[in-house]
Chain A
Amino acid sequence: MSRARGISRRSLFKVLGGGIVVFIGLDPLTTRAQDARRIYPEDFNAYLVIGENGRVTVLSGKIEMGQGVLTSQAQMVAEELGVELAAIDMVLGDTDRCPWDMGTFGSLTTRMFGPALRAAAAQARQTLLALGSAKLEVPVAELVAKAGVVSVAAQPGRQVSYGALSKGARIAKVLDEKALLHAVAEFRVMGTSPKRLDAVEKVTGAAKYAADIRLPGMLYACILRAPMHGATLTHLDTAEAEKLDGVTVVRQAGLVAALHADPQQAALALGRIKANWSTPAAKADTQSIFDYIAANSGEPRSVAARGDAAGARAGAARLFESRYTKGYVAHAAIEPHAALAEIRNGKATVWASTQTPFPTRDHIAKALQFETKNVRVITPFVGGGFGGKSADGQAVEAARLAQLTGKPVQVAWSRSEEFFNDTFDPAALVNVASSLDPNGKIALWDYLVYAAGERGAESFYDAANLRIRSVGRSMFDPASAGASVHPFAVGPWRAPGANMNVFAVESQIDIMASAAGMDPLAFRLNNLSDARMRRVLQSAADAFGYQAGVAPSGRGIGLACSIDAGTYVATLAEVEVNRASGKVKVLRIVCAQDMGIVVNPEGARMQIEGGLAMGLGYALSEELRFRGGDILDRSFASYQIPRFSWTPRIATLLVKNDQVAAQGGGEPSITTAGAVLANAVFDATGARLFHLPMTADRVLAAIAAKSR
């Protein structure tokens, strides 16, 4: 255990008062991967403080957007530190109080940050045991630490509380990676499903989101938006807007806004601003975008290769060639982006709905030309993120307007702005060529993905000859040709890229199973040596009550599996296809997941169910319509997200695997939604859908094409 360096212990305790503090530095490699420029103390991602009153404060740069990490992080600390959950206070996403964190995404909180958090708590427990040993004059080996008390094992009456041990202590430790963690068999708080810590606040309306924060004298801003992406302002007349009582109009390059103490007056004023725009010609639209991407993308890079793909292709008795496509998908969190900014005495404080408080702080500092230490971002509860709140334009807008007006300013995007400014899941396409040997083994797997990136593209099947390529390492890689072909911003969307890739991979597997006259489960098992995946598939099938059958069996049963964020997932679904309307109704879903150690089983199930319920959207209805930079869907009236009547019973199965550390939970299940439903539609009708979403029109067309 080394002493804390960097910030002085004195200034640290000036902020904290006394107590015992453990810094959590992630593995140096991980830290470097996050941002090579970070130095101590900012390379320490959180810490916990045991105060003199015995309360434990956990400070973490992660944020709560519904995924339940407020509770699961507290559980990990309670487990390893030996305190009750109720003794813990969580502080999340406050850049002045919590050390640097790159953001909450990628299902990383539990699998990457979790081990460090647990180790820190375990280390604090060891520190308390050492202090307790000195105080009670009993060797550490004869002590137990639990429920916030160190006591003598043989004489439980001889005890001292954590608070008493912290009193007067000024101990700062840096995490030692060799801290002793509780074994799974010893778990008392982890592995259970306590009531969520945000439960009462969220059912009583007390939970605060960014748009709920109020400051005296604050103004509400409505910002002038271009009619389409790529448009330039040619004429601006704000005279009529400025006549409204109490209105402030800001006219800056790239930022024109009407502000008022009453949000409705601000909206009224915005409506009176006259603007003319010059708009560029559209290069692509909802239909033509896929050819446009293929024609304008750069060179593919190799993701994986083995055997002789070219030879296998030349020698294939039957080549299965498919092209899969998926349109742009919106995040459509029910909370639109919002922020409130205040600048006082040269310091900006911004309450923002963001998944990335620290990068947001940096963006604001740059826009205001402030030093980062003079910007504080505070993250209240976030009303859904799904990757969309990794973009933080609203926070920068609020900060700039606060700087320009000298007043606190709220920017809360309207639903239309939310659609217009979204960083969409990109339109993407995949070309696959594959073949089988006479034993139903995959002989060739030749895979090329455009614009979705590589997540989910790698194959876990035992293909003898394989070539996997991707144009663009990730969908939002600025170096990727994929990113530059889109007519508006794209960005991470729950399991970025994997929804597209798993749709393509698992549809193609089903095509081959059907052609080989094999049951889709048997076909997969015949091509899989990965024991974890075999077990998850079999568990899901058993839970579903799956009976073997060659598709199309007419039953409407689909199967799909994937590995995402370290988690193995297999999903089965049963659908009913209305042959007159083309409408797909999902009757039931069963999903099995091996995610290693499960911190909070009920929380894990909620994420599995949530992912699948959300996934019904990109599978069945969600596709942003556009013409060039003009976003045509800007409301829930035309952009249909899943509703109650669509949602089937979703049964979840957590496949026990305590040998593996906790893996990702927020994203894996959604990756199977497109494929499992496409395969179920094929099983029901014999019609294969190669494009997501599978709208009723497309299902009808596919059925009609099949019967021709």
Chain B
Amino acid sequence: MKKRIHFGLNGRPIAFDADDEQMLLWVLRTDLNLTGTKYGCGEGQCGACTVIVGGRAVHACTTALKHVAGKEVVTIEGLARDGKLHPLQQAFIDHGAFQCGYCTSGMLLEASAFLRDHPKPSRQEISAHMERNLCRCGTQQRVLDAIESAADQIGAAS
């Protein structure tokens, strides 16, 4: 059953007709052609599709459109603002916190939502929080380094 759905996407309001039981992942990737959000498992087990909905990091593969309506969605395409990389994106580059890059979008959005709520996390807290995000290339150590350093930088700037 198609319905008119409204939500904010990377700072811009959008509206379109869709079945609101559809999962956000496929709407992003197929209807909106935002392919930076990745499919990894389709059952909320790997974190590759993590996006931010209403300030919370969620798995787009298990989030139905009806839970997105009226909220603000941030995808990897919206993390950099005004042509400037988010401090986390820059830190991932500086620390070499990716290899194949497939899990990177999800890692960045998970970390970004986390740092907003936890401005001064310990390394252990970061690690515990990132536990649901899988990386097969084995970049975990550098991802933690990058998030720690971005947290310091964001903290210093605010």
Which residues of A are interface residues toward B (Cβ below 8 A)?
65-68, 195-196, 198-209, 211-212, 214, 220, 262-264, 332-336, 381-386, 412, 414-415, 602-603, 606, 609-614, 635-637, 641-645, 647, 649-650
B39 x A208 contact (CB < 8 A)? no
Q: Which one of B41, B75, B99 contacts A635 once the chains associate, using CB atoms below 8 Å?
A: B41
- B22: nearest residue on chain A (CB-CB)? A264
A177 to B143, alpha carbons, bound, how many Å? Answer: 42
- B58 interfacial by beta-carbon distance below 8 Å: no
CB contacts (< 8 Å) of A263 on chain B: these are 26, 30
- B4 interfacial by beta-carbon distance below 8 Å: no
CB contacts (< 8 Å) of A641 on chain B: these are 134, 136
Known contacts A334-B103, A610-B139, A611-B138; A203 and B26 CB within 8 A of each other: no
A203 x B38 contact (CB < 8 A)? no
CB contacts (< 8 Å) of A602 on chain B: these are 96
How many Å from the CB of A225 to the closest CB on chain B? 15
B39 x A412 contact (CB < 8 A)? yes
A209 x B127 contact (CB < 8 A)? no
CB contacts (< 8 Å) of A200 on chain B: these are 85, 93
How many Å from the CB of A308 to the closest CB on chain B? 44
A382 to B137, alpha carbons, bound, how many Å? Answer: 12
CB contacts (< 8 Å) of A645 on chain B: these are 127-128, 131
A385 to B41, alpha carbons, bound, how many Å? Answer: 16
Known contacts A205-B76, A209-B38; A649 and B99 CB within 8 A of each other: no
A611 to B136, alpha carbons, bound, how many Å? Answer: 10
A204 x B79 contact (CB < 8 A)? yes
A68 to B139, alpha carbons, bound, how many Å? Answer: 13
B45 x A208 contact (CB < 8 A)? no
- B100 interfacial by beta-carbon distance below 8 Å: yes
- B97: nearest residue on chain A (CB-CB)? A203
How many Å from the CB of A529 to the closest CB on chain B? 33
- B96: nearest residue on chain A (CB-CB)? A606
CB contacts (< 8 Å) of B52 on chain A: these are none
CB contacts (< 8 Å) of A636 on chain B: these are 41, 45-46, 134
A211 to B102, alpha carbons, bound, how many Å? Answer: 11
- A207: nearest residue on chain B (CB-CB)? B101
A637 x B45 contact (CB < 8 A)? yes
B104 x A202 contact (CB < 8 A)? yes
Known contacts A199-B93, A204-B76, A263-B30; A384 and B43 CB within 8 A of each other: no
B137 x A637 contact (CB < 8 A)? no
A644 to B26, alpha carbons, bound, how many Å? Answer: 27
Per DSSP, chain B at the interface is loop
A204 x B131 contact (CB < 8 A)? no
A205 x B134 contact (CB < 8 A)? no
B140 x A68 contact (CB < 8 A)? no
Known contacts A68-B99, A196-B96, A334-B48; A647 and B140 CB within 8 A of each other: yes
How many Å from the CB of B36 to the closest CB on chain A? 2
Known contacts A205-B36, A609-B142, A644-B130; A415 and B41 CB within 8 A of each other: yes
CB contacts (< 8 Å) of A612 on chain B: these are 138
Given A203-B98, A205-B77, A214-B33; 12 other pairs, CB 8 A cutoff: A195-B93, A202-B104, A205-B76, A209-B38, A211-B39, A383-B38, A606-B139, A611-B138, A636-B46, A641-B136, A643-B140, A644-B128
CB contacts (< 8 Å) of A649 on chain B: these are 141
Q: Which one of B96, B102, B127, B138 contacts A642 once the chains associate, using CB atoms below 8 Å?
A: B138
Q: Which one of A610, A635, A643 contacts B137 once the chains associate, using CB atoms below 8 Å?
A: A610
List 13 A-B pairs, Cβ < 8 Å: A66-B101, A203-B93, A209-B102, A212-B29, A220-B30, A334-B103, A336-B39, A386-B136, A611-B138, A635-B45, A636-B45, A641-B134, A644-B144
Known contacts A263-B26, A264-B26, A334-B134; A202 and B140 CB within 8 A of each other: no
CB contacts (< 8 Å) of B104 on chain A: these are 202-203
A206 to B38, alpha carbons, bound, how many Å? Answer: 12
- B53 interfacial by beta-carbon distance below 8 Å: no
A269 to B78, alpha carbons, bound, how many Å? Answer: 33
**CB neighbors of A among B6-43 (8 A):** 22-23, 26, 29-30, 33-43
With a 10 A CB-CB cut-off, give which of A205, A612, A649 has the most chain B CB atoms. Answer: A205
Q: Which one of B30, B40, B144 contacts A334 once the chains associate, using CB atoms below 8 Å?
A: B40
A391 to B96, alpha carbons, bound, how many Å? Answer: 28
CB contacts (< 8 Å) of B105 on chain A: these are 205
- B92 interfacial by beta-carbon distance below 8 Å: yes
A334 x B100 contact (CB < 8 A)? yes
- A214: nearest residue on chain B (CB-CB)? B33
A401 to B99, alpha carbons, bound, how many Å? Answer: 32
- B154 interfacial by beta-carbon distance below 8 Å: no
Q: Which one of A205, A336, A642 contacts B75 once the chains associate, using CB atoms below 8 Å?
A: A205
CB contacts (< 8 Å) of B139 on chain A: these are 606, 609-610, 613
B96 x A643 contact (CB < 8 A)? no
- B92: nearest residue on chain A (CB-CB)? A203
Query: 4 closest Cβ contacts across the A-B interface?
Result: A205-B36, A613-B138, A66-B100, A383-B102
A613 x B141 contact (CB < 8 A)? yes
How many Å from the CB of A64 to the closest CB on chain B? 8
- B33: nearest residue on chain A (CB-CB)? A214
